[in-house]
Amino acid sequence: MSTVAIVQARIGSERLPGKVMTPLAGEPLLNHVVRRAQQCAELDRIVVATTESPADDVVVEQAQRLGVASFRGSEGDVLDRYYGASREHGVSTVVRLTADCPLLDPQVIGTAVRRLKGDPALDYVATGETFPEGYAVEAMTFPVLERAWREAALASEREHVTAYIWKNPGKFRLAFIELPEDCSAFRLTVDEPVDLEVVRALCESFRGAAGFFGVQAAIGYLRQHPEVAKLNAHIRRRAGYLRSLAKEKS
């Protein structure tokens, strides 16, 4: 029985090609995601799930440099990629992370895992809409992932991995972690060139600090530096878009 973080990563990106290998504080974005996940005591292993495209050879090579496993699967059917990675690595609890969230908080990952494992009634636990974009964590049991893989039929359900789970609360028992106050206006993911300016500003500010700075420290910085926060404030929140997408019924 193992709890494994599967990091979704590929070179192809419509808005910011090659972003997973884009330098941030001297290292590729992927390094930041993996190393932050490695600080979470609740995780047994980390697997980087990329595609079979030759362009993603570099992702596999970087995973090797980081000392973590990799898995190659479908580019478009990301749900199948997650299922294949989970089966190959004997995963019992799946934690979904994405490589465009370089400021992930290990404590938030741990909270999601503990919440899921601590309540046998739950199938899926994720960060809710009060978090800044860029801290997304989803934890689910393997049987739940397998059922979604078996039953999901829409292209949106296959591409977005957990959309089938969101839109079927009658089939799956869901729970969400929320912050004490709504911080959803802040954006700390990397999907556009301007997003890099924001996360680079934070990394520069916290350079030399012991350990990793978490979500509350990042929120505090953005509140003290509204000129940084407003750089990408105009970009539509992707998490909200995906939740709306998940409400499709046909």
| Residue 198: CATH number of its domain | 3.90.550.10
Rounded Cα distance between 130 and 149, Å, is 28
Query: How do residues 40-72 score in pLDDT, each as one tens digit?
Result: 999 999 999 999 999 999 999 999 999 999 999
Does residue 133 fall inside a structural domain?
Answer: yes
Structure tokens at 209: 């600090």
Does residue 141 fall inside a structural domain?
Answer: yes
Task: Please give the pLDDT value at position 33.
Answer: 97
User: Across the chain, what does the average pLDDT equal?
Assistant: 91
Q: What percentage of residues in the chain have a pLDDT greater than 70?
A: 92
Task: Please give the pLDDT value at position 208.
Answer: 63
Per-residue pLDDT, averaged over 116-123, amounts to 96
Rounded Cα distance between 250 and 197, Å, is 39
Task: Please give the pLDDT value at position 210.
Answer: 52
pLDDT band at 248 (very low <50, low <70, confident <90, very high): very low
| Total structural domains within the chain | 1
CA dihedral of residues 82, 86, 88, 89 (deg, nearest 10): 130
pTM for this model (two decimals)? 0.92
Does residue 70 fall inside a structural domain?
Answer: yes
Task: Please give the pLDDT value at position 207.
Answer: 81
Q: Check pLDDT > 60 for residue 243.
A: no
Rounded Cα distance between 118 and 122, Å, is 9
Does residue 162 fall inside a structural domain?
Answer: yes
pLDDT band at 245 (very low <50, low <70, confident <90, very high): very low
Query: How do residues 138-186 score in pLDDT, each as one tens digit?
Result: 999 999 999 999 999 999 999 999 999 989 999 999 999 999 999 999 9
What residue type is 156 in one-letter code? S
Please provide residue 17's backbone torsions phi and psi, each rounded to the nearest 5 degrees: -55, 135
Does residue 208 fall inside a structural domain?
Answer: yes
Which has more confidence, 80 or 249?
A: 80
Cα Rg for the chain, rounded, in angstroms?
17
Task: Please give the pLDDT value at position 209.
Answer: 59
Per-residue pLDDT, averaged over 112-124, amounts to 97
pLDDT band at 249 (very low <50, low <70, confident <90, very high): very low
pLDDT band at 7 (very low <50, low <70, confident <90, very high): very high
Contact 123, 32 (CB under 8 A): no
Does residue 250 fall inside a structural domain?
Answer: no
Instruction: Give the domain extent around 161.
Output: 3-245
Task: Please give the pLDDT value at position 39.
Answer: 95
Helix (H) or strand (E) holding 144: helix 142-151
Does residue 185 fall inside a structural domain?
Answer: yes
Rounded Cα distance between 217 and 211, Å, is 12
Helix, strand, coil abundance in the chain, percent, nearest 5? 40, 15, 40
Q: Check pLDDT > 50 for residue 246.
A: no
pLDDT band at 12 (very low <50, low <70, confident <90, very high): confident
Q: How many residues does the chain have?
A: 250
The number of angstroms, rounded, from the C-alpha of 8 to the middle of its chain's C-alpha atoms is 7
Question: Of the candidates 139, 130, 242, 145, which has an alpha carbon nearest to the alpha carbon of residue 186?
Answer: 130
